[in-house]
Structure 1
């Protein structure tokens, strides 16, 4: 069976440039480590692409990715310079496409017609929420209806993949609203999603709201629980979540950048641990009535750490409960098993399975 090539981004940051709004949560200079006024020069673009390409193997598919701002809101001459250079690498077969991020209200048919000849293959929309009250309180400057309109326009161009970014925990948000946002996103059928629980970043309006006690960010545990409710419906719909939690850049880790909120360098791992804990509880309910003397549990090797949980808590709790019932437990790692699934067999009984999709 032929293996799919791993995707890798040649990342170029265009912080906050082209964005017409200062959303309450946003300070792109802090998030990306790049100053808002710093424009990329042709020389800097080429140097960055060449340096990053030198680390890309033949087993990887690369896209040149413009992150950090509303790309389609940049001055047209600046967009053209960036895209023209990127297209050279597409034409030479060194990368397979171009990825950019922008706002839903900065998408229109004439914009798509401009982008297409340059080899743009992926567009990510920062929709943040599909609840109009949350969008208004966050000063996004667009509505949920505008997100749907932008998605409809992009979908007229089948060669372009669509990603949506959401930020649970913004002002006015609730778990129920975030779950409804996911339900609406599923209807929009994006190719992938990113989930970034909202953080209080220095230099944002959210900092002032937090310091004046008008806003309380999610705790780390709350953010894990919310994301654990949001991910399974997307899994069931076949929509990959390619990132959970902001990338742990040097600037984000520096003192005084993240003032509050659920920042963790391994946030996705924490969500996986929570979901495996829920799977183990469900499995326990099914195992306990079965009087077989032993239990053989099987997972993919990549899931072992999440299954065991922080400091082994998940697995230790599970094993301890079964030992009280005089059952022996064996953990088996099998690369042929699907990710995010537990299989088990008690005694000579047939194998049973549970996955994140069933939560």
Structure 2
């Protein structure tokens, strides 16, 4: 049974014990596979969840805003370019036109062991991670917990870099990092309690002179989940980097801020050598499962490219840095 509330109040009365459907790009597939069951609440008619507003120093994006609308919004493009770039590059045009902000943040993992009838891994309610002993070539290279499936949300990476907060029904706000935890719980992709509803995301105003970039690396240019992706926000004043935020996805079971990379950049002149040194710190100390070890070099190359794209003309053009990735990218999986 599907119910269609027409207001947030009606939604909250119905949400307990039901799946919440927005664009349906994830939930419908899981229902088809038998991984999600029971009654649904569809957000189609809850119009207040489909708005983008700027109030003072904060951008508020409703959970039902389509990813394509987020990417195309002039205010987002002008004031929160890292978020707009990430939204405009994820998945395919067809998916961006259907998928929503909330659905992207709360989608389930795309592991091929989970996404099959009869799945028995942690995510499906079982007692292990089948990928560990099986094919984990497109799984996490930064191993944070029992589940090796990489976190699937590109918008989570962008919002982490923008230090955003989610708004939960009832007025409570959480930092985006708190929505995903530390990766130690293998059964949950996010930390919203049952019956809770994500209403919106609040993103603070970016800084004057900020430079931003989004870069993804995948085995195909379109219609492929990233092997690694990165959102970078930088401010350069008086010839040095004064502010740095670097967040990555596709490489761990949660989106990650790369604190060591950020610290290496601060108070330094933006030279090719500096960017290469900073990017080399991505994944430092990680102990990847053997089949995913190659992804660490791809992660570093992805971060380096995003840094170079963000800084653009701020980096001297009389020298270049080349990063060689000596690893074969596995063939695509269904």
TM-score of Structure 1 vs Structure 2, range by shorter chain: under 0.3
| TM-score, with length taken from structure 2 | 0.27
| TM-score, with length taken from structure 1 | 0.26
- Higher Cα radius of gyration: 1
Q: Comparing both chains, which one has the higher relative contact order based on Cα–Cα distances under 8 Å and sequence gaps of 6 or more?
A: 2
* Larger proportion of helix: 1
